Structure 1
Amino acid sequence: MKLTHILSASLLSLFSTFALSATFTFTAIPDEDESQLRTRFDKVAVYLSEQLGVEVKYIPVKSYSAAVTAFRNNQVQLAWFGGLSGVQARRLVPGSEAIAQGFEDQFFKSYLIANHSIDLMPSDNFPTLNNYTFTFGSKDSTSGRLMPQYFIEKNTGMPIEQIFKRIGFSGDHSRTISQVEAGVYQVGAVNYKVWDTAVETGKVDTSKVKVIWESPTYQDYQWTVHSGIDNDFGAGFKDKLTQVLIGMTDKDLLASFPRESFVPAKNSDYEPIERVAKTIGMID
């Protein structure tokens, strides 16, 4: 055998060994308290490692934009994104794909919540919000900013700057609930899953803060995988990863999201989110 063939075979073998031993990394948007996220996603890392046969590591980030940046720079190969952050990431990384979403993410929704000190009662009709103080969650949140802003402006016919006396961004859904409960802001927008879980676990005082309006449904969270994943981890890795996520049945792990199960997703599912983001000027 020629020396060049021997070297080529050796390099191929070395590359294959590296690919199989490389660490698979993932991140998630920081939509809740950091300790809750760490508990959830460290368990996900263990599950993925066992199922995929590779080392898996969860990489926490401090902001939604940091999650998108980590994905763009290939610092992570997989991310648990919201609807908007997933759209942003896939626009930056051609060939990346949404592969799985929570069953509930097919028909997600937002709540508007209000401090009990103001005269707003729960109703199917859109509330009158003029001159209240208002907080969104993260500036890049789908359920805590994008869709609430869209529904508010659609129902009032006015930009949010003309509606509210003061507008804030709490950073995540848990802080939105805390700030409205404490009266720092009179009204806020929150992910319905975070709210419902907080109520179920006694982490919100419903004598001080209440849901006043529930939005129409929309597609939201999803797992998005980086392009070229099969080149890095072997042929068929993306399909195996997809099946492992969809095949997650551990009730404790699913409850930590919280989701009933995971189902297939595709990029086109989030085209309505992209259109809304363009409509309110959040993306070009």
Structure 2
Amino acid sequence: MRVCQLMGAFCAALFLSGAAAAQTLYFSAIPDEDETALVTRFSKVAAYLESQLGVEVAFVPVKSYPAAVTAFRNDQVQLAWFGGLSGVQARLMVPGARAIAQGSEDPTFISYFIAHESTGLVRGESFPTAARGMSFTFGAKTSTSGRLMPEFHIREETGEAPEAFFARVGYSGDHSQTLRLVASGAWQVGALNYAVYDKAVAAGAPEVATAKVVWQTPPYPDYNWTIRGDVDARFGAGFADRVQAALVGMTDPELLASFPREAFIPATNADFDPIEKTARELGLLE
């Protein structure tokens, strides 16, 4: 097992080497947390997959959501843990690519809208229309739970674009940063992945003392493991199915908690049709 940093001549040569790619399964993940946390999480996953698949497995950290999609498109990685939107983007770019697994929670994922305590906003069943004129931050621009679905619901609930409803709109880059920025008061309101917020609550993170949940979206499908369509030709017949079985068969509580997920279940491309439809409506897919 190795962790390959996307930098320097070594990785450039490695990615250009067809022989190396044929011997090693490379995988990546959208950077919804800082890189150190991602390396810690996915190095353990790489070791688990090696033990199940009998091939070397290496995790490749990337700097952004688009970089994860690009790495998949360019065959720099053959497997990736994507969000709903980034998974759709990747599969549209790579013929034969398919979603093979998702967390048991992912078919009914939600986003939280959080607000700094100074706003006076409180949690309710209805969209917080009192946030009109406040500052607001999404997460990454192509994040399903940090941008796509929050923007969809802002438009649905207010009849306006986010830039019209809020005084100022920004993009933090990831869910953890959204929580930090709202907690500090740098942004008054933000939207993020509910699991990141709940994990912060469970860990007793100080940010949750000043950044409170004020609304949650209706459920939607989100994160997924997606694999390239040419892996069977490279690693042997049935390899994609073996990867799927390994992921669905992951039962180690420590591994699952790092996502965090209770379990993984099979997935198909069709499970994410609602995400593709919404992304097209918002002009986020070409």
Aligned letter for 1:50?
S
Structure 1: stretches of 5+ with no match in the other structure: 1-17
Within 1, Cα distance between the matches of 2:227 and 2:90? 10
**Structure 2 equivalent of residue 54 of structure 1:** 55
Question: Where in structure 2 are there 5+ consecutive unaligned residues?
Answer: 1-18
Partner of 1:116: 117
Larger Rg: 1
**Are 2:171 and 1:169 equivalent residues in the alignment?**
yes
Q: Give the AA of the match of 1:236.
A: G
Quick one: distance in 2 between partners of 1:197 and 1:250?
Answer: 18
Check if 1:35 corresponds to 2:22: no
Q: Does 1:137 align with 2:139?
A: yes
Scaled by the length of structure 2, the TM-score of the pair is: 0.91
1:101 aligns with 2:102: yes
Residue 184 (str. 1) matches residue 190 (str. 2): no
The TM-score, its normalising length taken from structure 1, stands at 0.92
* 2:280 is aligned with 1:252: no
Which residue of the partner structure matches residue 277 of structure 2? Answer: 275
Give the root-mean-square deviation of aligned CA atoms: 1.2
Residue matched to 1:13: none
State which of 129, 152, 155 in structure 1 corresponds to 2:154. 152
Residue pair 1:112, 1:190 contacting (<8 A) in 2 also: yes
The letter for the 2-side match of 1:127 is P
Cα pair 2:22 2:234 within 8 Å, conserved: no
Change (3 A) 1:108 1:204: farther
Aligned residues: 267
Partners of 2:209 and 2:53 in 1: how far apart?
46
Q: Determine what percentage of the aligned residue pairs are the same residue.
A: 57
Change (3 A) 1:21 1:146: closer
Contact kept, 8 Å, 1:21 with 1:55, in 2: the verdict is no
TM-superposed deviation, 1:234: 0.6
Shift of 1:180: 0.1
Q: What is the CA-CA distance between 1:119 and the residue it aligns to?
A: 1.9
Counterpart CA distance in 2 for 1:205 and 1:164 is 23
Distance 2:185 2:36 in 1: 24
Q: Shift of the alpha carbon at 1:279?
A: 1.1
Whether 2:228 is the aligned partner of 1:226: answer: yes
Give CA deviations for 1:10-31 in whole Å, capped at 9, x if unaligned.
xxxxxxxx69970110000000
Q: Against the structure 1 CA distance between its residues 19 and 114, is the aligned structure 2 distance closer, same or farther, given a 3 Å change threshold? A: closer
Deviation larger for 30-39 or 211-220: 30-39
2:9 aligned partner: none
The match for 1:69 is: 70
Q: Which residue of 1 aligns with 2:80?
A: 79
Conservation of the 8 A alpha-carbon contact between 2:200 and 2:208: no
Instruction: Spell out, residue by residue over 1:142-168, the C-alpha distance to the aligned partner (whole angstroms, 9 max, x if none).
Output: 000000000011000111111111111
Contact 1:102–1:260 (CA under 8 A) maintained in structure 2:
yes
